[in-house]
Structure 1
């Protein structure tokens, strides 16, 4: 690590004031990602601002659903009675990620801010447009088995690593953030993370110094018909090759609405809009599940080492639909 200043924010206003004094300052919540990046010299903030004393860890019911405090731990969120009852897909997604020790430290807001685990991003001796804009993308012609099949550009083929965020995407969450002037804005989850295009160094739509305060979950009608399926190289402490969060609102055997998001396939949680549109008002049959999966994966663009993700994506979608249907 390079030398850095360590500050402890006593409240939200102080946190915002501190980070706006330095362009290269960074917030610290659980620290499960940024500390690793600092140790590898991938991230080199000049100041770390500890958010641990801020009152942003409450999980509570609201008139429109549930509010998740940005500093609530992943373990607290996954095991909260309200989440297990009304948002089980979120509980399952969180518990599929990392390890128990990391979930005990990682915060909800920090989970959204974590950066790709692309090996070329972590290796400072390799070119990476995300780490050093304009240096090139070593993964493009390198070993890209874990990389994107949707939404990638010539600048970056990395994938976003979170499990929690895939469920949040399917749940139509909103991210509340506080700006420097103290005002709040709400970002639809589908707009929070961004595709690489010509600026792969930008992971999300936050401006420098904006502070995530909560994640808002609207009420839904698919708690009893939802699933999270994660395919990975080993059963624990591994990132997804492909994952799927799915929820159905059923009327008899008819799917009134489908909410589907995929992980391990793009630079952001990939909302499976083609599959959702096809399944709307369709019978919940295996044949329709196959058609929806084929349609969603038809626009996939594999790289040299990850063509297998197309068939894996189809089968994971179908399996997630079957599990969601059974409830």
Structure 2
């Protein structure tokens, strides 16, 4: 008997009714009512970044028939932008939406979870995390802070930032005060930059007052909203320190352990879905935003190869130094380099060849 016929039949009707009566209590028990608070590291007006947290919470609610509700807060409402993971670690907040490279002062290997200079583009960063051992390494690092983490957001390759002066050669970095997070700041420090770690909502004021000379944030869609073009003229590419930056959802370990396995699976799947939605948003909005910025007087510049080569050398010198001091950093570095070496070969053969032709042909 076919399944549809069985379900329509009288025997099926009686069996189904009995099954429903038996199953309902079990289902209710496995889907408890949960109310969480989430703190984000990103200002509320940024609908791609803070909006990603809202998207995640929406997906979780929809998948649980609204039994699992997550309320999202912006930076400063219950925790500062750069301390989001700290309040999750101590149990003050259930979860946080944040780039885990904000916390490399506590554990340097966390940089690899977001992305390090000269590592991967967006697709390869995610591939390394999910299929190259990256997530397991980040799990090991995050466990030290009483949190569970998983990817929940992806920006694509970021821009190199806003500058008041041109960067034509490596020596032009000397003495530059620049807002830049993660290991990118440490790399540029080797070239003479004075890195500043500043939350997204405070960058404009620092540029306007001259507290900093340059700043990187994300990409045209966000940078336009934050008004950086009004206080800096030159807009550089690429952001070689964040070729495919991933955001994480970090959850307090005890809160995570208390969830049913089904809810844990829903959270991870919602993170993946929210990440794809965020990347699609940037891919569709960055081009028009860049055109508007250029029309308004922004000068787009490409870092010269000499500048990139000097930064590459500085980055790998820094990596060697950190690997000698931290075993987890060493293992993450070796994993990253091995994955990068193998998979950019494939990219060169096929993906890059196709993209190069399409870019050259876009005005035909």
Alignment TM class, shorter chain as reference: under 0.3
State the structure with bigger RCO (CA 8 A, min sep 6), 1 or 2: 2
Which structure: larger Rg?
Answer: 2
TM-score where L is the length of structure 2: 0.26
Structure with bigger strand share is 1
